[in-house]
Structure 1
């Protein structure tokens, strides 16, 4: 029995993808640092797009990539890979949703640069949000509230709470995918970039705040009272 337990612990620590929610051996990361690693690449993307000409003037080699959006796309890809590498270095695991988003960034970013077509990077949020919605809602169809993989470091909920929260986030990702399609197809590139950075995040934060009553009802421990 002791040998089996040791083996199970060894396998768990060697997993690259994060283990199940609330797993006792799951390494934790400071929530603010985790947020910075997830939002940092997006900030880089916005800054590079808005300051594309200045960046190219300072680093002329980047002119080969094309206009500001293409420079921003390349830096976005690099920042995403760096963020995932830092996350892995700190925890020896890779968070599921950021790695899915990262893979889509790399694939669609590569297509954007190769074909010199900004449509691909504009479609990335639609693909990512649609994929997240499919994963979360599909997981629920099989009785698996997968959102626990994302938020279990912040909240400890009962099974019903994870199911309800997963359903709501799944539907919210559907809304984000639809909104992205409407914006990039009907407005300028600069407006789309600004909306992606300065509107999508506030909308997400407002949605998260509306979930606090559900979190309180289904929390297994006092909310926002985690030990430092």
Structure 2
């Protein structure tokens, strides 16, 4: 019986639910920061966390935990990138709340994106296109395609890390929060869509159809 269950394909969640799980915590973070004083007035317990950015950080951590839990319930697995990002959220979020210093939560995107960039680009030095291990269930590409896509994503993650550093160090907290949600996500979506020609060119499925 166990062997039959093991042979079953991994459960997939709907694209809409996946988007909600990925974007939900960020949206919670944005609105909690924007409405922090209102939340504190209506839910006095939240004021124990501190000002709006600290209330937003606490709710961001809770929303991230909820998103990972729902993902596990539906798929019985946790995607590696959201998992790593979630771990960093919990660590840096806890430091932010404990030390009452929002620098830690502001540096979280820098740490996560730098980590992903270094892992992807570093893997290529050892002849490993690690992006293939992440997206193998979504795309089937030839070796050259995975290598090119890994290089592009590695550089893009480094770009996101640098961009986060520039924004949080030179602009207000409210601007950084807004940019994190309404700037970084559209940029990431546009970058992802821009890779479709490369994916189509190196798709093994396309070659099989030909």
- The two structures have a TM-score, normalised by structure 2, of 0.91
| 1:127 and 2:115 aligned | no
Aligned position for 1:19: none
1:9-50, Cα deviation, whole Å (9 max, x unpaired): 84xx8xxxxxxxxxx844322233222211111111001001
Counterpart CA distance in 1 for 2:54 and 2:84 is 21
Aligned position for 2:51: 67
SS at match of 1:183: helix
Residue-pair matches, total: 205
1:140-179, Cα deviation, whole Å (9 max, x unpaired): 2222222234333432222221221111001000000001
Q: How does 1:156-167 map to 2 (within 5 A)?
A: 156-167=140-151
| 1:192 and 2:176 aligned | yes
| 1:211 and 2:209 aligned | no
| 1:152 and 2:117 aligned | no
Match of 2:63 among 55, 68, 79: 79
CA RMSD of aligned residues (A): 1.9
Counterpart CA distance in 2 for 1:116 and 1:167 is 38
Is contact 1:28–1:153 with CA below 8 Å preserved after alignment?
no
Counterpart CA distance in 2 for 1:181 and 1:103 is 20
Counterpart CA distance in 2 for 1:35 and 1:141 is 33
SS at match of 1:144: coil
- The two structures have a TM-score, normalised by structure 1, of 0.84
Deviation at 1:218, TM superposition (A): 1.0
Deviation at 1:115, TM superposition (A): 0.1
| 1:93 and 2:82 aligned | no
| 1:105 and 2:89 aligned | yes
1:29-87, Cα deviation, whole Å (9 max, x unpaired): 22332222111111110010011111111111101110000000000000101111111
Change (3 A) 1:173 1:69: same
Is contact 1:96–1:149 with CA below 8 Å preserved after alignment?
no
SS at match of 2:78: coil
| 1:140 and 2:124 aligned | yes
Structure 1: runs of 5+ lacking an equivalent: 1-5, 14-23, 223-228
Change (3 A) 1:27 1:135: farther
Structure 2: runs of 5+ lacking an equivalent: none
Counterpart CA distance in 2 for 1:152 and 1:33 is 20
Counterpart CA distance in 2 for 1:159 and 1:28 is 26
